[in-house]
C-alpha cells in the first residue's frame, strides 16, 4: 500500500447522539482533514462500534476517535473503552460540556484518554484542529501497520487451522496469521462476532468473516476459479502438479480448449519442495512454489482454465467423448483427457500419528510450518530427497533437526549433493536404523517413541514437531475398471500395456506412447507406471502427452 492509499483509508471517527452536533463535528473535520482522511460519523455508540468492527475486518486504519461524553446507551468513556478493544492504537478524544470536566479528567486514567475537548469548539482553527493535528501526529509515530490482506485467526495446534494456512500458501494467496489467544487475534474474533471455539476464522480482504470455511468456500472467496466456463473441451487435464501444468501450458498454447482440474492447489508435490536443485536452467535452485506458480500463470496466460478445489472421482467413456465427474456429481466432457494425478504421501501407521496430524505431525507441509519450528527440536522421517530438502530448510529455523531413517544409511536413497549439505549443517543429526512407533501428547505432539531396528531398543524423546516424508502412493482407485493399472495402482501406458491390444481397445493401431488402455486418455508424470518421479520428466511427459493428443485428434 502506498502512503497515499494508506492516508485515504485512514479514518477519523466521531460519535455524538445529538445529530446537529454530530454533523457539525464531522463538517469541521471534513473541511480540514477530508482530503487525506475518511471522516466516519455515527449518532450512537452502538453504530460507532459496528462501524469500527467493519473497518477492522476490512483492515482499515483508524487514527483518531472523538466521542461525546453524554450518550444514552453507553457514555463516551464506556464507548472509548470498547473502541479500544477493537483499535487500541487509535488516539482517543472525549467531547465534554464544561459541567462534565470532572468525569473527563477521571477518564484519563480509566481509558487512557489522550485529550478532552470542551464544547463548543469554535473557532475550530484554535480549539479543534490543533488537538486533532497533535493526535494524528502521535498516531503516525506509533505502530499502526495496515493489514489489508486475508487474515487467518486460528490456534497453532488446530489441524484445520494448519490446513487452511497450507491451502492459502499453496495457492499463493497472501495472508497474515493471528493466534486466537493473542490480543490482536482476540480483537479480530470479537470484530467478526466469532466465539473463538470454531476455528479458524478467515477474514477476506474486503472484510467478510468466514468461520471454519471449507477449501471450496475459501477458493471462491479469495478469487480462485472453481467452476468450468464450458461443458465441452478439447482437453481436460486432471491434476495441477508439474505434469498437469506442463500439459496445460502446451495444450492451451497450441490452441486446444484446455481445462486443468486440481483437487487442492496447483503445484502438486513440487509445490511443497523448499528447493529444487536439479531442474534444468536453475543453477542456484528454485523453490517448488515459485516454479509452479510461474507455470500456473503461464498456463492461464495462454488461455487454459485452471480450476482448484475440484476433486475428480470418475471417468466415463461416452462414445467419442470422455466424461470427467466431480465429487459434487457435476461433470464436464472432452475429446481427450490427460491423467496427471501424481502421488500422495503414504500415511505412517503408528499409534497417535493420526490424532496428532496437524497438531505437531505434518505430511510434507514443511514450508508453512517452518516459522513455528523456531528454537525447537524437531524430527523428520524419511531417507529420500524430499526429507533431506525439508531438513536443510527447517534447520534454518529449528534449534535441532533429527532425520530418522529406517535403513542403515542415506546413501541408497538420497542424492549425493544433499547428503553433503546435511553433513555440513551442524544442527542436523541423522539417526539411521530408527523408526517411529508412537506419538503422544495432550492436545499436540509432545513425545515420540522410537525403536532401533538393529537392536530392538526403545527410547521416548520429547518432540513438538514431526515431519513425515515416507514415500508416496498413487491415488487412482476411482479409475478402477476404466484404465489398466499395475499392482501398485500406477496407470499403465503405451508399450508397457504389452504386445496384445488392451481389453476393449477397438482401434486398428496400438496405444501411443503415453496413451492408457482407453483411446484418447493419456497419463503423464508420477501417476504413470515406471515413471521417473522427477519434476523435469513430469513436465516433459505433460508436453509429450499434448503432442499425442494432437495425433489422436487428427487420426480419429
Ligand X SMILES: Cc1cc2nc3c(=O)[nH]c(=O)nc-3n(C[C@H](O)[C@H](O)[C@H](O)COP(=O)(O)OP(=O)(O)OC[C@H]3O[C@@H](n4cnc5c(N)ncnc54)[C@H](O)[C@@H]3O)c2cc1C
Look at residues 157, 21, 163, 161 and name the one whose alpha carbon lies nearest to residue 96: 21
Q: Which is nearer to ligand X, 368 or 385 (CB)?
A: 385
Q: Which helix (H) or strand (E) holds 58?
A: helix 45-58
Q: Which of 80-112 are b and which e, b meaning 16 or more Cβ less than 10 Å from the residue's Cβ?
A: bbbbbebbeebbbbbbbeeebeebbeebeeebe
DSSP secondary structure letter of residue 491: B
Look at residues 512, 539, 516 and name the one whose alpha carbon lies nearest to residue 526: 539
Return d(Cα 96, Cα 127) in angstroms, integer. 13
At its nearest, how many Å lie between ligand X and the CB of residue 238? Answer: 5
Nine-digit cell string for 517: 488402455
Distances (CA, A) of 504 to 323, 516, 549: 17, 12, 20
Q: 3-state class of 62 per DSSP?
A: strand
Q: Which is nearer to ligand X, 224 or 527 (CB)?
A: 527
Task: At 355, give phi and psi (nearest 5°).
Answer: -65, -35
Q: Which is nearer to ligand X, 104 or 465 (CB)?
A: 465
At its nearest, how many Å lie between ligand X and the CB of residue 285? Answer: 8
At its nearest, how many Å lie between ligand X and the CB of residue 247? Answer: 9
E-strand stretches of 396-453: 400-404, 428-431, 434-440, 447-452
At its nearest, how many Å lie between ligand X and the CB of residue 167? Answer: 11
Q: Which is nearer to ligand X, 62 or 270 (CB)?
A: 270
At its nearest, how many Å lie between ligand X and the CB of residue 164? Answer: 16
Q: Which is nearer to ligand X, 135 or 332 (CB)?
A: 332
Q: Which is nearer to ligand X, 83 or 219 (CB)?
A: 219
Q: Which is nearer to ligand X, 153 or 492 (CB)?
A: 492
Q: Which is nearer to ligand X, 334 or 343 (CB)?
A: 343
At its nearest, how many Å lie between ligand X and the CB of residue 267? Answer: 6
At its nearest, how many Å lie between ligand X and the CB of residue 86? Answer: 39
Q: How many residues does the chain have?
A: 556
At its nearest, how many Å lie between ligand X and the CB of residue 341? Answer: 4
At its nearest, how many Å lie between ligand X and the CB of residue 51? Answer: 42
Return d(Cα 213, Cα 407) in angstroms, integer. 41
Q: Which is nearer to ligand X, 148 or 525 (CB)?
A: 525
Return d(Cα 426, Cα 319) in angstroms, integer. 62
Name the residue with cell 486418455.
521
Nine-digit cell string for 290: 515459485
Q: 3-state class of 295 per DSSP?
A: helix
Nine-digit cell string for 164: 487452511
At its nearest, how many Å lie between ligand X and the CB of residue 489? Answer: 12
Instruction: Assess contact for 184 and 89: CB atoms under 8 A.
Output: no
User: Dihedral through CA 291, CA 297, CA 302, CA 307, nearest 10?
Assistant: 110
The alpha carbon dihedral of 278, 490, 474, 404 has a sign of negative
Q: Which is nearer to ligand X, 68 or 262 (CB)?
A: 262
- Residues lying near ligand X in the complex (CB under 6 A) are found at 238-244, 261-264, 268-270, 272-273, 276-278, 311-312, 340-343, 364, 385-386, 389, 475, 525-527, 533-536, 538
Return d(Cα 164, Cα 279) in angstroms, integer. 29
Task: At 200, give phi and psi (nearest 5°).
Answer: -85, 165
DSSP secondary structure letter of residue 38: E
Amino acid at each position: 500500500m502506498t502512503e497515499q492509499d494508506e492516508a485515504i483509508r485512514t479514518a477519523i471517527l466521531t460519535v455524538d447522539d445529538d445529530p446537529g452536533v454530530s454533523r457539525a463535528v464531522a463538517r469541521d473535520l471534513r473541511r480540514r482533514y477530508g482530503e487525506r482522511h475518511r471522516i466516519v460519523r455515527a449518532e450512537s455508540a452502538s453504530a460507532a462500534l459496528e462501524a469500527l468492527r467493519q473497518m477492522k475486518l476490512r483492515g482499515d486504519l483508524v487514527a483518531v476517535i472523538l466521542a461525546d461524553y453524554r450518550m444514552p446507551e453507553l457514555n463516551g468513556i464506556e464507548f472509548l473503552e470498547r473502541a479500544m478493544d477493537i483499535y487500541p492504537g487509535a488516539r482517543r478524544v472525549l467531547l465534554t460540556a464544561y459541567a462534565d470536566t470532572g468525569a473527563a479528567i477521571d477518564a484519563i486514567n480509566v481509558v487512557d484518554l489522550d485529550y478532552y475537548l470542551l464544547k463548543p469548539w469554535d473557532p475550530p482553527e484554535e480549539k479543534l484542529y490543533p488537538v486533532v493535528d497533535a493526535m494524528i501526529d502521535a498516531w503516525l509515530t506509533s505502530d499502526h501497520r495496515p493489514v489489508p490482506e486475508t487474515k487467518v485467526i486460528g490456534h497453532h495446534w488446530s489441524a484445520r487451522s494448519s490446513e487452511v494456512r497450507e491451502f492459502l500458501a499453496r495457492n499463493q494467496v497472501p495472508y497474515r496469521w493471528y493466534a486466537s489467544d493473542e490480543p490482536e487475534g482476540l480483537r479480530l474474533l470479537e470484530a467478526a462476532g466469532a466465539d473463538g471455539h470454531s476455528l479458524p476464522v478467515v477474514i477476506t480482504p474486503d472484510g467478510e468473516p468466514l468461520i471454519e470455511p471449507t477449501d471450496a468456500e475459501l477458493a471462491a472467496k479469495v478469487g480462485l476459479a472453481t467452476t468450468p466456463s464450458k461443458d465441452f473441451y478439447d482437453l481436460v487435464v486432471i491434476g495441477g502438479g508439474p505434469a498437469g501444468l506442463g500439459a496445460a501450458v502446451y495444450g492451451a498454447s497450441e490452441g486446444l480448449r484446455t481445462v486443468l482440474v486440481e483437487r487442492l492447489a496447483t503445484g502438486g508435490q513440487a509445490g511443497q519442495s523448499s528447493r529444487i536443485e536439479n531442474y534444468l536452467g536453475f543453477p542456484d535452485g528454485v523453490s517448488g512454489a515459485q516454479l509452479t506458480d510461474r507455470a500456473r500463470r503461464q498456463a492461464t496466460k495462454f488461455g487454459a482454465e485452471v480450476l482448484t478445489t475440484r476433486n475428480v472421482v470418475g471417468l466415463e467413456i461416452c462414445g467419442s467423448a470422455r466424461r470427467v465427474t466431480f465429487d459434487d456429481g457435476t461433470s464436464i466432457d472432452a475429446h481427450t483427457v490427460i491423467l496427471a494425478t501424481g502421488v500422495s504421501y503414504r500415511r505412517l501407521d503408528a499409534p497417535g500419528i493420526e490424532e496428532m496430524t496437524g497438531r505437531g505431525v505434518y505430511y510434507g507441509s514443511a514450508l508453512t510450518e517452518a516459522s513455528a519450528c523456531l528454537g525447537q527440536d524437531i524430527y523428520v522421517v524419511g531417507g529420500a530427497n524430499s526429507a533431506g530438502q525439508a531438513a536443510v530448510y527447517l534447520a534454518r529455523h529449528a534449534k535441532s533437526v533429527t532425520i530418522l531413517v529406517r535403513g542403515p544409511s542415506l546413501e541408497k536413497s538420497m542424492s549425493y549433493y544433499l547428503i553433503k549439505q546435511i553433513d555440513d549443517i551442524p544442527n542436523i543429526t541423522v539417526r539411521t536404523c530408527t523408526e517411529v512407533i508412537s506419538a503422544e501428547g495432550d492436545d499436540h505432539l509432545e513425545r515420540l517413541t522410537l525403536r532401533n531396528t538393529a537392536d530392538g531398543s526403545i527410547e521416548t524423546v520429547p518432540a513438538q514437531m514431526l515431519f513425515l516424508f515416507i514415500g508416496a502412493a498413487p491415488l487412482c482407485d476411482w479409475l478402477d475398471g476404466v484404465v489398466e493399472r499395475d499392482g501398485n495402482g500406477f496407470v499403465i501406458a503405451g508399450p508397457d500395456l504389452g504386445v496384445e491390444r488392451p481389453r476393449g481397445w477397438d482401434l486398428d493401431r496400438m496405444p501411443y506412447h503415453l496413451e492408457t488402455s482407453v483411446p484418447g486418455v493419456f497419463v503423464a508424470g508420477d501417476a504413470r507406471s515406471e515413471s521417473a518421479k522427477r519434476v523435469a520428466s513430469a513436465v516433459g511427459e505433460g508436453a509429450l502427452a499434448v503432442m499425442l493428443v494432437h495425433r489422436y485428434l487428427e487420426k480419429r
